[in-house]
Structure 1
């Protein structure tokens, strides 16, 4: 069986996350929203795009984001603060990941990575040694496509084979993109931003059988 997986917040945590920083900036400027609401607006904004920006990932349009939250986009102070946000510098592999990947490999499953990632994301993936578990990898910055564009999954199908499942943490990108390509999606809901999904990879026991 072929199984495809996402990278960020599925296998690897990159912190601080941009939407978490935006949440703090909004709060400091008197805009009180739940972290879940900020996350949802952030994801909806990026999931509108099927092709990457110059960094190789989904473009983030602040005007669209503000519209999602009902904020006036003419707030220049807020715009400047959000645009200054740097990428998260800390990263680590989630606790259950290695054991999960090793069990899948021991069952003879073929693993594919499908990631909306910058060159740095790829560098971290290799630095942490996760590449040894994967038979095929696709990074958005290399192929000019981003999830939820089903064409990024079509590249996997055409060049390696069709995954039976795709596992990822963002419904609007991972699950929608996979389903549009005819692949069943498994939502990893680590932070309870969705009303369904598994809480961690250990809950996907049927793949280990």
Structure 2
């Protein structure tokens, strides 16, 4: 085992508002009473089917709101859909989670490489510099640079090549992080900070300190 592969957004870095929170708020503005957890699950199920960035977004794909509404059991007219799809839901306000640096330091003590594997725009490079994450990283694999997104296994194969071998991937979205890692024959840990995946029981943690402990158990460290 050579490395730990780790997601950035909502794993190491908290965005305010979170992507799905911004989407939830926009839908509510249109008069729909939606549950935030249900929006998260429906949105991530949709994004789990996206493998390539949209050329106008630069590293990420667009939300198909008609499909999202279908998944939520809602019906909206073309005007509502068009307006929702014209908006940006990315936040420019971000900070590290309190457990991010302690987690990275624990991984380094295990003498494992840390490779960031993220679906992100080119702003990822600015973010990791500003938050001083760069000193903990042995590589950055971003969809904006590679032209392919998780859960496509290619992004993980590229990360494995940088690491020089296999590893364990940690991320907050089952459909993207866990499914994608397994497609590349990697072990995966789901970081479920808000219990949005109650049905998942195996290799799931609520914070990164639990993740560090689980990694040690998985590696018999």
Does residue 83 of structure 1 match 2:86?
yes
1:33-72 matched pairs, under 5 angstroms: 33-54=34-55, 55-72=58-75
Rounded Cα–Cα distance in structure 1 between residues aligned with 2:159 and 2:26: 39
Counterpart of 2:209 in structure 1 is 202
Question: Displacement, 1:5?
Answer: 0.4
Measure the CA separation in 2 of the matches of 1:181 and 1:65.
27
Structure 1 residue 171 corresponds to structure 2 residue 174: yes
Q: In the alignment, does 2:10 pair up with 1:9?
A: yes
Match of 1:111, SS?
Answer: strand
TM-superposition CA deviations, 1:41-94 (whole Å, max 9, x none): 111121111111122113322222122112224241354145324521210000
What's the offset of the Cα at 1:198? 0.7
Deviates more, 1:22-31 or 1:11-20: 22-31
Contact kept, 8 Å, 1:58 with 1:116, in 2: the verdict is no
TM-score, normalized by length of structure 1?
Answer: 0.92
TM-score by length of 2: 0.87
The equivalent residue for 2:132 is: 129
| Ranges in structure 1 where 5+ consecutive residues have no aligned partner | none
> Aligned to 1:112, what secondary structure does the other structure show?
strand
Runs of 4+ in 1 over 4 A off after TM superposition: none
CA RMSD for the aligned pairs?
1.7
What corresponds to 1:161 in structure 2?
Answer: 164
Between the two proteins, the alignment pairs up a number of residues equal to 209
Identify the residue that residue 190 of structure 1 maps to in structure 2.
193
